[in-house]
Structure 1
Amino acid sequence: MPKSAQQPPIHPGEILKEEFLVPYGLSANRLALAIGVAPNRITGIVNGMRGITGETAILLARAFRTTPEFWINLQAHYDLELARAQVTKERIEGAEALSRELSAA
């Protein structure tokens, strides 16, 4: 599929909002107060302006009976998809050339 036709990656905040906050009738502020973080942390995540840290992953996992790995994996997947879209062909070719050189050594 051409890059221009690809869907943008889904930010973990969208999943937090659509799969957890909305179904449970929770606001970002209510969640933040319950897990003891500043409301702007959760709002930033939900708005796609902030990533999920290890600490936040632990707290979200406890609140929603998931695992920290669930939240960290969502963030890692998002970050990798952004990186794939930003890494230039020339840089990839340079990395592959080095790999071939190392394999020949």
Structure 2
Amino acid sequence: MTIYQPLHPGEIIKEILIDGAQLSVTEAANKLDVNRTTLSRLLNGHAGISSDMALRLSKLLPNTDIVFWMNIQRDYDIWQAKKRLNKIHVKPLDKAA
């Protein structure tokens, strides 16, 4: 079974709001009541979904909820962390400790 890297949450949001709903970034930011730069950073993969943004997305897209958006971010973060696993030089704690 092949496991695929999860999409950055911004790619999913871009597909729904920009491509699907045909909103500009400014229009989408206004609907979410956030700064255009904040949304742009998310859409371009330079920021993740905060709990506040997840709440805003769930209000804008009522067929989703905050947990849906937070899970997408969590899955992406875990995938990214696992890619760095071999670069982390931490030794397991001794059982006696």
> Under TM normalisation by the shorter chain, which class is it?
0.7 to 0.9
Amino acid of the structure 1 residue aligned with 2:18: L
Are 1:75 and 2:85 an aligned pair?
no
More helix by share: 1
Q: How does 1:33-52 map to 2 (within 5 A)?
A: 33-52=30-49
Give me the TM-score of the superposition, normalised by structure 1: 0.76
Assess, with a 3 A threshold, how the Cα gap between structure 1 residues 89 and 52 changes in structure 2: closer, same or farther.
closer
- Distance of 2:30 and 2:87 partners within structure 1: 45
Aligned residues: 95
Correspondence list, 1:1-105, <5 A: 8-65=5-62, 66-88=64-86, 91=89, 94-95=91-92, 98=93, 101=95
Counterpart CA distance in 2 for 1:81 and 1:47 is 18
TM-fit CA distance, 1:45: 0.6
Percent of residue pairs bearing the same amino acid type: 32
Q: Which structure is higher in RCO with an 8 Å CA cutoff and minimum separation 6?
A: 2
What amino acid does structure 1 have at the position aligned with 2:46? M
CA distance in 2, matches of 1:11, 1:70: 14
TM-score, structure 2 as length reference: 0.82
Gapped regions of structure 2 (runs ≥ 5): none
**Residue identity matched to 1:41:** T
